Structure 1
């Protein structure tokens, strides 16, 4: 029979973790001496087992406890020695860590808000789930209008409490209607209104320049004596400030939108450099062309009336711009679908540092 005091003494005398592991195997391993004693219990008589069993079990528990205590002491000593030997060089640069970046859409939204704030516009918001009255009817779109068709609009199966069809808004123009109604209620005689409505919109379309969800910013001015000259100046001042170029040239073309009359498509001159479109100059100049960037016009009388204003006293203009396309044009991106892929490689290339985002270097002129 092994002497328990001798076993514990050997364990306490182990100077390294490797030596301690060797003793564990020697005594408690499958072929260890204490494990061998435990195996002999099966061949003993009941009387012998009652005498020898407790002795062997005490030996096993004593060895196990001594091994655990010595291991803890050796690991603590090793850690103390390592902490005493190691030092930290505070002059070394910190290891690189992952950094987030500002999405181009967020950056362009901030730039647009900055420009229109200088022009005296307030930001208005509204629900993305709309009813067909705010999204279509109030904007002078009859039920037969193609924009109401299922292939363009995401409809919900249920109607609201007023019996109106519910849908994902196809533009941010409903925000204009809601803002006009709120203003007319607060000021029964009417009041000037100057807002921009940025946000997500939804249409059933997908290719390199269209996605089912995209971003728009629409503007609305309601006041007395408003005319096309005010609209042209506002758009020209906005585009010059956004693209940070003084040589922006606009071309206004007659068009049709049910919510404006007259309606105007706005083109800008551009040239191609290295496969990238660069805005600036006249589209009629050599090496240049015209590119449509937004739609606009004078607010239709029916829309003014739906908003709660008297169209014989109040006039206004409105415009709508695709934020995603503005980002593509300003920062040289060629596929709208990449904005929503969630590819961090794309974001690391086109994204903006959260600590060093660009700002518009120039402001705009005196508001209308």
Structure 2
């Protein structure tokens, strides 16, 4: 078959084949079959070497015309298929703009985190550092550095979860204070810090106790620190959290890491000291423990107790939240019940 006839048949058959294309994948296959490097048109044009010099221009012009016709037909089919696909997608994804909008639920911070943030903001404003530490702690820092040597009976009050003989889940955030005192250069100035975080004790879970809870401990180490400094700081804290009318009182107590030690009560914010169910008719509510740092704790951290002194306090943000918002079961904080949590939207 002469080349001219072959090219003419290729045009006719190619255009007919293009009209049967019904997908973009098939379109690409046909494009390669007709116009690819190994396609039918390329194969046919290889016979041009056998033509005479007079025939080649005529056959070349015919081949170019056929190539243009096939490309135009393929392009038209591609546009039609793409338009059809777009219309189909629009039909499937049609949006009814007359429907009311959907409200996106906006979350908020957990009530305990709100209390922690509030306390942190207060003490940052007083020039304190916020320092975090590991929850998996060494017995050395959790107990021994804090004047609780092995077999000390006071350890029973903080029975905890041991991972090994010397590694445990910390029972308080005081180890952060011990680590910080070791590193602090007192020639550069006093140490003022709070250490918030989770702590763990092997308590029986009930309405007022949990095996895991939050704690914030504060520490100030400097020269000439007295109980008056401690009382003034705690009074400011109580009034910031529970109201400007609050008063505090200090009662003697015992903690191994402070001497003297005190329990701190605030005047009842529900009855203003007259006596009610919340304060058990006493007019006062116990909120935290505190005291002046024990000389042994200073010595253990390499601080000279003859030169420096300080005060420390520890409070539970969980308890503060319970008192502030009238929550009577600490377990509510950890049940992830949205009906409970959404009551505390914060500011």
- Matched length: 263
Match of 1:47 in 2: none
Query: Which of residues 323, 328, 335 in structure 2 aligns to 1:341?
Result: 335
**Given that residues 269 and 288 in structure 1 are in contact (C-alpha distance below 8 angstroms), is that contact kept between their aligned partners in structure 2?**
no
How far is 1:156 from its partner?
1.3
Match of 2:97 in 1: 88
Q: Which runs of 5+ in 1 are unaligned?
A: 1-71, 159-164, 272-277, 359-368
1:328 equivalenced with 2:299 (yes/no) = no
Match of 2:174 in 1: 173
- Cα distance between partner residues in 1 of 2:137 and 2:284: 35
Written as runs of structure 1 = structure 2, the 5 A alignment for 1:245-324 is 245-270=243-268, 278=270, 281-282=272-273, 289-324=283-318
1:204 equivalenced with 2:202 (yes/no) = yes
How far is 1:86 from its partner?
7.4
1:104 equivalenced with 2:111 (yes/no) = yes
TM-score relative to the length of structure 1: 0.65
TM-score relative to the length of structure 2: 0.68
Match of 2:214 in 1: 215
Written as runs of structure 1 = structure 2, the 5 A alignment for 1:1-368 is 88-89=97-98, 94-149=101-156, 152-157=159-164, 165-183=166-184, 186-187=185-186, 189=187, 191-205=189-203, 206-243=205-242, 245-270=243-268, 278=270, 281-282=272-273, 289-350=283-344, 352=345, 357-358=346-347
> SS at the partner of 1:238?
helix
- Cα distance between partner residues in 2 of 1:288 and 1:345: 33
Relative contact order, higher structure (CA 8 A, sep 6+): 1
More strand by percentage: 1
- Cα distance between partner residues in 2 of 1:77 and 1:194: 66
> SS at the partner of 2:261?
strand
Q: Which runs of 5+ in 2 are unaligned?
A: 1-80
> SS at the partner of 1:237?
helix
- Cα distance between partner residues in 2 of 1:348 and 1:332: 15
How far is 1:281 from its partner?
3.3
> SS at the partner of 2:112?
helix
Cα distance change on mapping 1:341 and 1:86 into 2, 3 Å: closer
How far is 1:147 from its partner?
4.3
